[in-house]
Amino acid sequence: MLVLTADETREHLPFPEMIGAIEKMFKDACQVPLRHVHSVDTPKGNSTWLLMPAWQHGGRLGVKVVAIHPHNRQSGLPALNSTYTLFDASNGQPLAHLDGNEITSRRTAAASALAARFLSRPDADQLLVVGAGRVASLIPDAYRAVREIRKIRIWDVDPNLAMGLAKSLRARGMDAEQVDDLEAAVSESDIVSCATLATRPLIKGEWLRPGMHLDLIGSFTPDMREADDGCFLRSEVYVDTEEAIKKSGDLLSPIQNGALQPSRIRATLSELCRAPGYGRRNSEEITLFKAVGTALEDLAAASLAYDARLLMLGRRPEAAGMPSLPSTR
């Protein structure tokens, strides 16, 4: 059984290859039961443990274990930690233990970019990233794997964080700047990708212009929102999985308020991958993609990293009972 550190996991998950691996997994499909949620008492307070399994018949099985300890912030420790264990589904042999945080953040950005390949205009080159945290920092690289991004704007409630991210992107040769006026930045962008922990809408529907693509990553609980009802009234709406309408405040609230009928959701990411005709139909429509994440993406990423590690060690992935996932290059 291989053990991949955070650096090694990250090294083996380049965005072009990861986007291709996730697309293939959505096309092939796999079993993804509902995540297990457990509340655990600790000496310092309650914690939440998530178990997220997924498997393919005769292929691989994986499970991500996520530990959420909010009180860790008082000790200067991360509030969330996760690990991923990959198995051969045909015989139960453990194959690898990987860094779950790297898998989660990178597959989240990759799935967002995969959706944008179907939903954003082919000539979209102006990107606005709303947020400056871990996932937000990966969005420019992910989107540059599917679109010719020329300009990147960064907005965050903490301008210093946005300035820091813009500076790091410029150091890598990207044209990036921190912005203070969110409304103006939205109006100047072709793609708006939000990765925040906001509990009140940041993006207003009246700001959207024809041809835009709005990507919502952050709202993964009923109490979180990144976009107001107007965004859903004006957009063609897509989701990563059907489970999204049960989890995200960005969908639950518009549905409750009558701004979005579930029947108006045009397609899931799986349907987009299998039938691209579900995607953008013209250059004028506004598209909106809401994701909450799925263990399918975790399994695709973990398999990709494991196969790449085997090749680096001079071993063929087929020896583990499953051929390696293809590259998009």
pLDDT at 14 over 90: yes
The stretch 79-103 carries a mean pLDDT of 95
Contacts (Cβ under 8 Å, ≥6 apart) of 218:
131, 194, 195, 196, 197, 198, 224, 226
Domain-embedded: residue 279: yes
pLDDT tens digit sequence for 236-259: 999 999 989 998 999 999 999 999
pLDDT tens digit sequence for 280-302: 999 999 999 999 999 999 999 99
Tell me 62's DSSP state.
E
Domain-embedded: residue 206: yes
Same domain, 74 and 176: no
Domain-embedded: residue 165: yes
Domain-embedded: residue 113: no
Task: State the pLDDT confidence band at 29, using cuts at 50, 70 and 90.
Answer: confident
Domain CATH for 201: 3.40.50.720
Same domain, 38 and 150: no
The stretch 15-42 carries a mean pLDDT of 92
Distance CA 121, CA 115 (A): 12
Same domain, 188 and 277: yes
Left if phi > 0, otherwise alpha if psi is -120 to 50, otherwise beta: which for 222? alpha
User: Is the pTM above the cut of 0.75?
Assistant: yes
Question: What is the pLDDT, as a whole number, of residue 327?
Answer: 41
Parent domain of 6: 2-103+295-320
% of the chain with per-residue pLDDT over 70:
96
Same domain, 142 and 6: no
The number of distinct structural domains making up the chain is 2
The stretch 187-203 carries a mean pLDDT of 95
The stretch 309-314 carries a mean pLDDT of 91
Domain-embedded: residue 328: no
Same domain, 221 and 80: no
The stretch 22-49 carries a mean pLDDT of 90
Same domain, 124 and 143: yes
The stretch 53-80 carries a mean pLDDT of 89
Distance CA 139, CA 153 (A): 11
Domain CATH for 11: 3.30.1780.10
pLDDT at 2 over 70: yes
